[in-house]
Amino acid sequence: MNVPLLDLKAQYDPIRKQVMAAIERVFDSHAFILGPTVREFEERIASYCEVECAVGVSSGTDALLVSLMALGVGPGDEVITTPYSFFATAGCIARVGAKPVFVDIDPVTYNIDPARIEEAITPRTRAILPVHLYGQCAEMEPILEIAASHDLPVVEDAAQAIGAQYRDGRQAGGMGTLGCFSFFPSKNLGGLGDGGMVLTNDTELADRVRTLRAHGGKPKYYHKLIGGNFRLDALQAAVLNVKLDYLDGWTAKRQNNARRYAALFAESGLIEEAGPKLPEAVYEKSGVSRYHIYNQFVIRVADRDRLQASLQQAGITTALYYPVPFHLQECFESLGHREGDFPEAERAAKQTLALPVYPELSNRQQEAVVESIRASKAANAVVKPRPVVAGFPTGGSTI
Ligand SMILES: *Cc1c(COP(=O)(O)O)cnc(C)c1O
């Protein structure tokens, strides 16, 4: 059975008329750069995430870049982050001239391990940049505590995590000094191209981001700052405005799919001693709960490459996020890292595999995925699973 990793046709077919009408409104208004459509979308995202300010920008990458620029991070500075994420996380730190300082991940959530952050702080540290990988929040409480005790700002890379929550419903992107979203088409809220957003409760920082996204001129043509062209297109904002109404419903479907995977894996006997390790969804760990929005459903298997190849043969598309951790990337060679420096990130890079979890995935397709994993010999050469998945999210709206 053919199971794609993502099916954008299935997502757009039911909302095609609405999306086209929104595009036509922008087309007829000729207000293509910023203007009321972008403003409306910014206000709606700010209220969705319960923050004061949201500034639409050209991509998730530019959201990170302009956030670091607004904080004044530059040459000679260090920014603490994870070695295991999409490239933009570390790339943006280097692009402002600062040094990315990596801290290994928690092998259960794949997010930065807060217990190792303190020892990475030096007098040059200027910010902490956690990522909410795959749609599950990093352990923000200790991260925010450490940051506060060293007077450091926190920039959340929430590119994969719009709608994810942490403790008592605190929103991904709304907990740090600045939060960054991406509207890349494969994110849970995706546009028809690139787009991003910076969130903050600090009106002065929001102002700087707004100024920097239009070359740093304020008033126009008078530059105290050097910015760039980091604007969100009105056309993207119009499409995203339509799609935002559906986000919670889509999230609920992703969560249902995650729950169904867990049940199917359990039935097939695959998460006994020697099965693939499932993502540890919302789980209780000293009272910490996470509301996972499953941008990706990632399992851990020792013989990952063989399993991926056999699934591909069965028509099932999976993905590797991410095969090479930052500290082993050629472009960061000058940082002087070696294999073994961040063992958990290295293991994750070798063992993780993302299965299709998109909202429109059918029961039959999911059964086919799990059946193909069971049938594959590769699934038996596995990593011993960690303690049982304790629970899955029950919140969110249902459809
Ligand atoms: C997608 C992504 C980005 C970059 O977003 P773009 O909109 O593609 O520029 C940054 N960080 C993470 C973790 C991402 O997944």
Mean pLDDT for all residues in the chain? 90
What average pLDDT does range 107-111 have in this prediction? Answer: 90
CA of 86 to the centre of ligand 1 (A): 6
Domain boundary among 194, 224, 244: 244
CA of 228 to the centre of ligand 1 (A): 18
Choose one of 6, 59, 61 to mutate for the ligand 1 pocket test, by most ligand atoms within 8 angstroms of C-beta: 61
User: Ligand 1, closest atom to CA 61?
Assistant: 9
Distance CA 397, CA 399 (A): 7
In this structure, the dihedral spanned by the alpha carbons of residues 112, 115, 116 and 119, taken in order and rounded to 10 degrees, is 140
How far, in whole angstroms, is CA 104 from its chain's centroid? 17
Domain boundary among 244, 279, 303: 244
Q: Is 192 found in the same domain as 54?
A: yes
Residue 279's pLDDT is 61
Q: What is the CATH number of the domain that holds 351?
A: 3.90.1150.10
Q: Is 219 found in the same domain as 262?
A: no
CA of 135 to the centre of ligand 1 (A): 12
What is the tens place of the pLDDT at every residue in 90-103? 999 999 999 999 99
Reading the block at residue 306, the tokens are 């063989």
CA of 268 to the centre of ligand 1 (A): 35
The residue range of the domain holding 71 is: 8-244
What is the tens place of the pLDDT at every residue in 20-45? 999 999 999 999 999 999 999 999 99
Q: Is 193 found in the same domain as 128?
A: yes
Q: Answer yes or no: is 390 within a domain.
A: no
Q: Would you say 157 and 131 are in contact if contact means Cβ atoms under 8 Å apart?
A: yes
What average pLDDT does range 143-156 have in this prediction? Answer: 98
Integer angstrom CA distances of residue 199 from 48, 124, 202, 323: 11, 25, 9, 30
User: Ligand 1, closest atom to CA 64?
Assistant: 10
Q: What is the CATH number of the domain that holds 121?
A: 3.40.640.10
The count of domains in the chain is 2
CA of 266 to the centre of ligand 1 (A): 33
Q: Answer yes or no: is 396 within a domain.
A: no
Structure confidence at residue 161 as a pLDDT band (50, 70, 90): very high
Q: Is 59 found in the same domain as 159?
A: yes
- The bridge status of strand 125-129 relative to strand 165-166 is unpaired
Distance CA 338, CA 325 (A): 11
Domain boundary among 210, 244, 278: 244
Choose one of 57, 66, 160 to mutate for the ligand 1 pocket test, by most ligand atoms within 8 angstroms of C-beta: 160
Q: Is 164 found in the same domain as 50?
A: yes
Reading the block at residue 51, the tokens are 């923050």
Distance CA 36, CA 22 (A): 13
User: Ligand 1, closest atom to CA 186?
Assistant: 1
Sheet bearing 99-102, strands edge to edge: 99-102, 78-81, 125-129
Structure confidence at residue 337 as a pLDDT band (50, 70, 90): very high
Q: Answer yes or no: is 399 within a domain.
A: no
CA of 378 to the centre of ligand 1 (A): 31
CA of 274 to the centre of ligand 1 (A): 33
Whole-model pTM: value is 0.93
Q: Answer yes or no: is 397 within a domain.
A: no
Q: Is 206 found in the same domain as 148?
A: yes
Q: Answer yes or no: is 64 within a domain.
A: yes
Q: Which range, of 305-319, 334-348, 365-379, averages the lowest pLDDT?
A: 365-379
Residue 158 exposure: Cα atoms within 13 Å on the Cβ side: 34
Q: Is 191 found in the same domain as 76?
A: yes
Q: Is 236 found in the same domain as 332?
A: no
Query: Containing H/E element for 26?
Result: helix 16-29
Choose one of 6, 57, 68, 89 to mutate for the ligand 1 pocket test, by most ligand atoms within 8 angstroms of C-beta: 89
Residue that wins the pLDDT comparison between 38 and 384: 38
CA of 285 to the centre of ligand 1 (A): 28
CA of 366 to the centre of ligand 1 (A): 27
Q: Is 291 found in the same domain as 184?
A: no
CA of 133 to the centre of ligand 1 (A): 10
Q: Is 148 found in the same domain as 256?
A: no
Question: Any residues with Cβ below 6 Å from ligand 1, and which?
Answer: 59-61, 85-86, 88-89, 131, 157, 159-160, 182, 184, 194, 196
Distance CA 24, CA 317 (A): 35
Distance CA 101, CA 82 (A): 8
Q: Answer yes or no: is 2 within a domain.
A: no
Strand positions, DSSP E, the chain? 53-57, 78-81, 99-102, 125-129, 155-157, 165-166, 170-171, 178-182, 196-200, 290-291, 297-300, 352-355
User: Ligand 1, closest atom to CA 89?
Assistant: 11
Residue that wins the pLDDT comparison between 184 and 301: 184
Residue that wins the pLDDT comparison between 50 and 273: 50
Q: Answer yes or no: is 173 within a domain.
A: yes
Residue that wins the pLDDT comparison between 379 and 8: 8
Choose one of 57, 182, 296 to mutate for the ligand 1 pocket test, by most ligand atoms within 8 angstroms of C-beta: 182
Q: Is 261 found in the same domain as 212?
A: no
Q: Which range, of 7-21, 213-227, 272-286, 323-337, averages the lowest pLDDT?
A: 272-286
Q: Is 255 found in the same domain as 230?
A: no
Residue 381's pLDDT is 46
**Scanning the structure block, which residue is given the tokens 């207000």?**
31
Q: Answer yes or no: is 384 within a domain.
A: no
Choose one of 105, 129, 181, 184 to mutate for the ligand 1 pocket test, by most ligand atoms within 8 angstroms of C-beta: 184
